[in-house]
Amino acid sequence: MPINIPSGVTVTLKDNVVTVKGPKGELSQSVDPSIIVSVEDGSMSFSIDEKSEVPQKQKQAFHGLYRALVNNMVVGVSQGYKKEMELVGVGFRVSNQGNLIEFSLGYTHPIFIQLPAEIKVETKTERNKNPYICLESCDKQLLGLVCAKIRSFRKPEPYKGKGVLFLGEQIRRKSGKAAGAK
């Protein structure tokens, strides 16, 4: 499947490194030599080099992997990615100064995390609503990694549903000891 390159996005290929530049930023990805990348008139396609000595199954896996990674880069520099999270729990708070986020998640100490410069963060705390974090970036891999790190500070638990959740996420709830004793 070819990748359509939107207007305003430039793709350069040099020494098996694909660089994508757009209005939201610039990303680059090295591609295995067993994959041939070709860019022509507004689209980009990937094909397998049959002459390489990599096993066929590995070449097929690389083909899908690099196509998906470069497609995520093209979408990221043109539209960007956005992840929204909320903190569910009594006394849970979040605030930020630039890219430094401070969490109060029921531990004896606050948790601080310094985000990379590529990620923009916005936090909101409104009365009678859960604290809210919005993370935006052009790099999907980095954004997912940061969200996983934030979620690991207080994973959602199934008994009370407290923790750091993605916005709109449903937690499978369990009944406590009392329901099993009957």
Q: Which residue has the tokens 């067993």?
A: 34
* DSSP 8-state assignment for residue 169: P
Residue 34 banded pLDDT, cuts 50, 70, 90: confident
Per domain, the residue ranges of the chain are 3-78, 81-166
CATH architecture of 3-78: Alpha-Beta Complex (3.90)
**In CATH, what number does 81-166 get?**
3.90.930.12
Q: Is 74 helix (H, G, I), strand (E, B) or coil?
A: helix
* DSSP 8-state assignment for residue 173: -
pLDDT of residue 87: 93
Beta pairing class for 100-104 and 111-114: antiparallel
Whether the pLDDT of residue 182 is over 60: the answer is no
What pLDDT digit, counting tens, does each position of 44-91 carry?
998 888 888 888 888 889 899 999 999 999 999 999 999 999 999 898
In sign, the C-alpha dihedral spanning 102, 105, 107, 108 is positive
pLDDT of residue 66: 92
* DSSP 8-state assignment for residue 129: S
d(CA 120, CA 98): 8
pLDDT of residue 40: 86
Residue 176 banded pLDDT, cuts 50, 70, 90: confident
Residue 88's identity, in one-letter code, is: V
Six token digits for residue 70: 């470069």
> Mean pLDDT for the chain?
90
Whether the pLDDT of residue 1 is over 90: the answer is no
Six token digits for residue 122: 């916005």
Whether the pLDDT of residue 179 is over 80: the answer is no
Tell me whether the CATH fold assigned to 3-78 matches the one assigned to 81-166.
Answer: yes
Residue 137 banded pLDDT, cuts 50, 70, 90: very high
